[in-house]
Structure 1
Amino acid sequence: MPFLTRPVLTAGALTRTSQPTLPTGDGLILRPWRAGDAPAVHAAFQDPVLHQWHIRSCDSEDEAAAWIGEWQRAWDKEDNAQWAVVDEVTGELRGRVALRQILLGDGVAEVAYWTVREARGRGVAARAATALTRWAFEEIGFHRLELMHSTVNEASCRVAAKCGFALEGTKRSALQHPDGWHDMHFHARVRGD
């Protein structure tokens, strides 16, 4: 049975080129992950704040290296795309930003991010998510980007608002964290917002 609409994006929308490096224009760069980033990723995941909001731990640099390998291969699958957020001058890791759960036909993906402890309170997550959002809408042609965070993660809610993601609602008891089930705020931006 044929569809009545055309897909928003088709296979190859991402992989027609290599994963790009994206400047934020204000001192940060979003670049593909490198094997040499493993020590910095492992160090980032030793932070108790990251444990509070993320459901994974990282027990070794080898585990971080395995994640990076997965993140690098994900580009070719076009189901998620991950970038290291680094300082433009020093190259030091400031965080991670990603498009997850990509549905090319629908033109939809989820924006996700985390920052290292030293980068918090400096607008790193908002600047990185804004650059990624701009690229996803303007360069690739996504129609809708979504963003979710725990309702008690006020910093993430501020990031979503700064990036223009409207709060659409609350998904009750939607994600289990180490301290139990969390309600999740559900934000979104649509191309043209």
Structure 2
Amino acid sequence: MREETEEMAVPGGPFLLRPWTAGDVGALLEAHADPLMRWQAPQPVDTAEEALQWIRRRAGQREEDAAYSFAVVERADPRAVLGDITVSAVDRRHSTGWVSYWTTKSARGRGAATAACRAVCRWAFDELGLFRLELGHRVDNIASCRVATAAGFAVEGRERQRLLYSGVRYDVERHARLATDEEA
């Protein structure tokens, strides 16, 4: 399993993107204990069994060619999970995908999300043959917008009241990056 994980790793500057493993259960639980993560996560992870199921779902999605999730880790210590970067909604007919990301509290502001986003885009264009990658963020999530633009995603518009969190609707700003765009 270790060799397979290393073989599927994607370099991202001082960071590395690697598939999630059962050894990441503790890191996933710690990440989901953060109030910001709990507020945004569609399904918070509260137990070791839920974390293991989350990791298994990601592996299953990869096998089905539906989504590709990577743990974002330090190159120097590939066990130190800093976040997640995912290409989901893979549509082979139109060569498109949806990018999403999150970082742990301790990783925020260190450039991990931007580096991971750049790396996963290059990987998705080169390895999956995708042409267009999209993402969206709440308009009040300035940090996520900075990551998207720094990773080369162009703003394409606003979706009014797209997301619902704790009974409040939020507008979403949409971004996209094409395989033909200049590297960020």
TM-score between the two structures when normalised by the length of structure 2: 0.90
Selected match of 1:39 from 26, 48, 70: 26
Flag the structure with larger Rg: 1
RMSD after superposition = 1.6
Q: Where does residue 175 of structure 1 map in the other structure?
A: 163
Q: How do 1:41-190 and structure 2 match up within 5 A?
A: 41-91=28-78, 92-190=80-178
Q: Distance in 2 between matches of 1:168 and 1:107?
A: 18
Aligned length: 176
- Cα distance, 1:135 vs. partner? 1.1
Q: Distance in 2 between matches of 1:138 and 1:70?
A: 24
Instruction: Verify the 8 A CA contact 1:53 1:150 in the aligned structure 2.
Output: no
Q: Tell me, which stretches of 5 or more residues in structure 1 are unaligned?
A: 1-16
Identity within the alignment, % = 36
Q: Distance in 2 between matches of 1:128 and 1:178?
A: 29
Which one has the bigger helix percentage? 2
Q: Distance in 2 between matches of 1:154 and 1:70?
A: 30
Q: Tell me, which stretches of 5 or more residues in structure 2 are unaligned?
A: none
Task: With a CA cutoff of 8 Å and minimum separation of 6, indicate the structure with the bigger relative contact order.
Answer: 1
Amino acid at match of 1:152: D
- Cα distance, 1:191 vs. partner? 1.4
TM-score between the two structures when normalised by the length of structure 1: 0.86
Amino acid at match of 1:64: A
- Cα distance, 1:51 vs. partner? 2.6
